[in-house]
Amino acid sequence: MTTYQPYNEYSNINAGGFDNSDPSQSSRPNTGGQNANTLTPVTVKQMQAAKQQIQDGPYIVQGQELHHVSFVGVIRNVADNTSNVTLTVEDGTGQIEFRKWTNDSGDMSHASQGEQNGDYNSQVAQDYSVGKYIKVYASLREFSGKMNVQYAVVKHIDSFNEILAHHLEVMKAFAVANGNLNVGSNGTDGANTETNGLFVQDNEPPKSATEKVLDFIRAQCAGKDSNSFSVQTKLIAQSLNMLEDDVRMYCQTLTEQGYIYPTFDEFTFFIL
């Protein structure tokens, strides 16, 4: 069962966070030589081509182990079911289906009452529209002998720059995995990162504030299991005396740079 502690108890960075104490999740094994917390940007074609080399092992494609993945695409179909919606997403290399579950048990109460001029009946389905672009953070798991996209966190894309940035990250991850690009010990390119970064960002948040958020998340996640723990933006904002909207912006930057990734929803994060 998911539990929260009062925020006023978080007086220092050694306590608090989001704790999901479900033992069935925390007992999931970490397999493979690569860190199971690694977030890998991929295309749909890469996911479909991924194979398991050993039973219950990680999916591998083009020299990369796929544990947690991110991909972008346009919604081609929304199927409203009794307890979830099935989204069909295409990114130009292929299309894939996955389920997005609702957290409200009463949300689907009208889903089985028939179609109403093609409109979606459930609130969760209304959050997604055919033709809109989204970014998905998820895990790859085997179920019934088939690869499935699970634990999906969906983020709506507001700028096409995010699509271009993602595909550049896909190419970078492939180059690093196959030894065609050297990466420094801090996870950055071997070149001068101040002048040769992969992306140029407008209105980049102050470096000191971003680093404070990263350090806080890193301290919170130390020794924790990503399957049962994550850090909320609300906790970060209160602990560091920041506006939550600013914290979300900093977390988005850190996610794009590959330092953290969203877990249970788009407002809770774990360190990579």
Buried b (16+ CB within 10 A) or exposed e, 163-193: bebbbebbebbbebbeeeeeeeeeeeeeeee
Tell whether 1 is covered by a domain.
yes
Q: Which residues contact 227 (CB under 8 A, 6 or more apart)?
A: 20, 25, 26, 28
Mention every residue, 6+ apart, whose C-beta is less than 8 A from residue 222.
none
Compute φ and ψ for 8, nearest 5 degrees.
-70, -5
Residues 142, 256: one domain? no
237: containing domain: 1-28+201-272
Res. 189: pLDDT tops 80: no
37: which 2 tokens? 């917390």
pLDDT in tens, 112-137: 444 444 455 666 677 788 999 999 99
pLDDT at res. 57: 81
* Residue 46 falls inside a structural domain: yes
Q: Flag whether 188 is in a domain.
A: no
For residue 208, tell me if it sits in a domain.
Answer: yes
- pLDDT tens by residue, 202-220: 555 556 788 889 999 989 9
- 191 inside domain: no
Q: Which of 183, 213, 231 is the last residue of a domain?
A: 183
pTM for this model (two decimals): 0.58
CA 200, CA 54: separation in Å to the nearest integer? 40
| Number of domains making up the chain | 2
Do 102 and 232 fall within a single domain? no
The pLDDT confidence band at residue 44, using thresholds 50, 70 and 90, is: very high
Rounded to the nearest 10 degrees, how much is the dihedral formed by the CA atoms of 161, 100, 2, 106?
130
CA distance 14 to 44: 39
Q: What is the pLDDT of residues 54-69, one digit of tens each?
A: 877 888 888 888 888 9
Domain shared by 98 and 217, yes or no = no
Give the CATH number of the domain where residue 115 resides.
2.40.50.140
Do 54 and 17 belong to one domain?
Answer: no
- Calculate the dihedral angle through the C-alpha atoms of 31, 34, 35, 37, rounding to the nearest 10 degrees: -80
